[in-house]
Structures are given as structure tokens and as C-alpha cells.
Structure 1
């Protein structure tokens, strides 16, 4: 929606590969190779041995950097988030309207994710499985999820629009959840340049903007508070 390596895995094989600039290059080659093979062969059919062979490194070196295929996908999450964060900087620095900030962030995500569309289509069935460590809602992807929510926190905190204070605190996570709907639509979008996903954003952002704008009105403040209470209970 973040769309999204993690550091808590133990490596089955350790190779004395040097870190530093050369080590970072090796790591990038392994990631690029894995993403290509995932696209070409599918996630399940791609083994760590195949990734190592295609990357022209030993299996031990591949495991030195990534303990599993899951870690390689986590590296993709991290890369996608970093690219999204950079792509959002201009609109977050210049736009003060809530709708403009949200629209810019969502469009930036679709734009930077375009090169990974074929990979996402093949990979999504794994990420959508309940309990799968690659799910955007899993414990393993919590750092990537929090990083993505942080972007939507910038959307809210930098907005000059009037927003109910209680809703303002919960809104970043709610916006991230909304972005997951955009991600799902994008995965299945076969239109040229994902133009249907952009149209979805055109429709969705004004609706969210209206709801947020109405949240501080006396007649709707109680409804907003009930909704916030329900969200907090779901998280507990």
C-alpha cells in the first residue's frame, strides 16, 4: 500500500562474505535476481539455490544475506517503501490540503509500484493468506506496516484542514487500511498504465475528504467517536 530485510531471522549457513560496498552490491544483486525469478517462475517454484545460481554467488553467500525467500520479499517491501517515501516528498512539502496530500501519496505509490506489478500479481496469493508471514497484517511485516502508516501520519499532521482531534489520532492507520484496498484493486488491474486504479483514487479521495471534513461537526462528532471506539476495540 505498503506494498513492504527484517533482522530477526537466524541464518542456516554463514559465509565469510565481506560487508561494505561490495557486500551491499552482492545483496542488491541477490534481491534483483530473486524478484526476477519470482516473476518468471513464480514464488513457490523459485528456490534459494536457483537464486544463488542465477546471481552467480554460492548458496552459503545467499543465505548469509537472506535466511529465506520470505526475507527476500521483506527486502522488496523495504525497497518499495523507500521509493514511495522519496516519491511523496514533493507533495508533502508543498501541499497543505488534506485531499491533495492523500491524493499525491496514493498516486505516488501506484507510480513507483508499476515496475513490480507482474511480481505482485503472482505473489499476492501468498501475502493474502491468513497467518502467512508475508501478509501486510502479520507480525513479521510490522516494521514495514508501521513505516507505511508513518507516511499517512505525515499526510494528517501536515494538513491545514480542520479534523476532529480524536479522529486525527486514528486517521493514519485508517488511511493505511484504505490504501490496502487500493493495493488489492491495483493487483487485479489489467488496464493500460493501471488507469483504473488512478480512477479509483479519483473517486475515493474526495469521499474520504468529505467524511474527515464532517467529523468535527456537532451532529456527526458522536458517530465519529463511536467509530473510533470500535476501531480501538478491534485492535485490543
Structure 2
């Protein structure tokens, strides 16, 4: 026999589950409308109507369209981590791990390519909260850097210790360049972006391998010192 006390803990859990379902419904609806109508043309009122919730309810979960994009960033990182997990669990070669991660990143974002260019115009503004470098984007940014850290740490690559510390963020910065190329890539299936990844990864792998050569260490130290100097200025 159950008692009211036995049932009490379940109520908050059910409430949280329903709340998360509503939140995901609003996010999925927003992303669909972004694809169909474009980011700028989609309003919070339209999203709420399509989702079948009150406008106030939509604003309860997301303060603005910008916050919806932050939700998209977070979900994309979770999807990327899930997509690349089998490779990272089984593969030790650094180049293979990096290549798989970058291709998985393109796969995860492929459904949103149609509105990516319009959206990027907003995200490219230095003061925009949608910028991948903004304070608001820091959770998704750190999650992405964390994936590249997993790529490195689980590999058989032999790295200079100082480079190992900085490389995840450097790879993420390189990935941002790939994403920008992908945004404006109109080739079928964005195959030019795929070729860019396949061509760039061996070069990155080679540079990482060469970083352990004694003759290159002074130059490496200068580069890392420059990065640290820029970071302190921020």
C-alpha cells in the first residue's frame, strides 16, 4: 500500500518532466519555423501559436529568440557528443578522431543549413549574445571545447604538454572557421566543406606531430605566449 508520503517525491519529478517536454516542444517548433520562414521573420508569438502554448509560457522557458538559439547551441553540442561517442570509444588515432568529430558536427547541423546564413548575420555582430564568443554562449562553447579535449586525451598522439593544454581551444577556433565556410557553402550536400575537413585534418595531424621536435619548440613557445597574452587582455 502506498501513502501520500510515498507519492510526494514523484510530483515534482512529473512537473519537471512536463516542463522539459514543453521546453523541447517550443525549441523544436522554433527551429522548424526558422527553417521554413527564416530567423528574422519568426516571432515569439508565432512560435507560441505553432507550439500550442501561451505566449507567456514561451517567454517563461525562453526570454527571447536569442535564448532559443542558445538552446539550439546546447542541443547541438549534446547531439555532437552522442554522434561521435562510438568513434571516440574505439579509435585511438588522433587524425581519425578529429576527422570523425568534424564530419559529425556537419551532420548534426545539416538540417539547419537553409537558414544558417541569415542567422549568421546576427551572430556575427561582436556584441550579439548569439556570437559563439559571447558570455551567453559560454556553456555551449565550453562543451564544444570539451569534445575536442576528448579527441586529444583519448588519442595516441604524443604532444608537448603546453600545446596539449591549449590545443582543444585552438581546434575549436579552427572548427569555427570550418562552420563559417559551411554556412556559405552552396555545393550539393556542402561537399566542399567535407573536402575542406578531409584536407585540413592531415595537416593538423602533421603539425601536432612536428610540435614535439626540439628545433620547433622555441617557435611553439612564442605562439603559446602570444595566445596567453591575448587571453589576458580579454
Normalised TM-score (structure 2):
0.90
Residue 115 of structure 1 pairs with residue 111 of structure 2: yes
Partner-residue secondary structure (3-state), 2:57: helix
For residues 93 and 130 of structure 1, the distance between their equivalents in structure 2, rounded to whole angstroms, comes to: 37
Q: Which of the pair is proportionally richer in helix?
A: 2
| Residue number among 52, 55, 60 corresponding to 2:48 in the alignment | 52
Greater Rg over alpha carbons, structure: 2
Q: Which has the higher contact order (CA 8 A, sep 6+)?
A: 1
| Residue number among 81, 95, 101 corresponding to 1:99 in the alignment | 95
Partner-residue secondary structure (3-state), 1:19: helix
Residue 145 of structure 1: aligned partner:
141
For residues 99 and 192 of structure 1, the distance between their equivalents in structure 2, rounded to whole angstroms, comes to: 25
Residue 202 of structure 1: aligned partner:
198
Runs (4 or more) in structure 1 with deviation over 6 Å come to none
After superposition, residues 81-230 of structure 1 pair within 5 angstroms as 81-230=77-226
Unaligned runs of 5+ in 2: 1-13
For residues 58 and 200 of structure 1, the distance between their equivalents in structure 2, rounded to whole angstroms, comes to: 45
Partner-residue secondary structure (3-state), 1:116: helix
Q: How many residues align?
A: 219
| Residue number among 31, 36, 41 corresponding to 1:35 in the alignment | 31
Q: Is the 8 A contact 2:116 2:183 kept in 1?
A: yes
1:118 is displaced (CA, Å) by 1.4
RMSD: 1.3
Unaligned runs of 5+ in 1: 1-17
Residue 72 of structure 1 pairs with residue 48 of structure 2: no
| Residue number among 210, 214, 235 corresponding to 2:231 in the alignment | 235
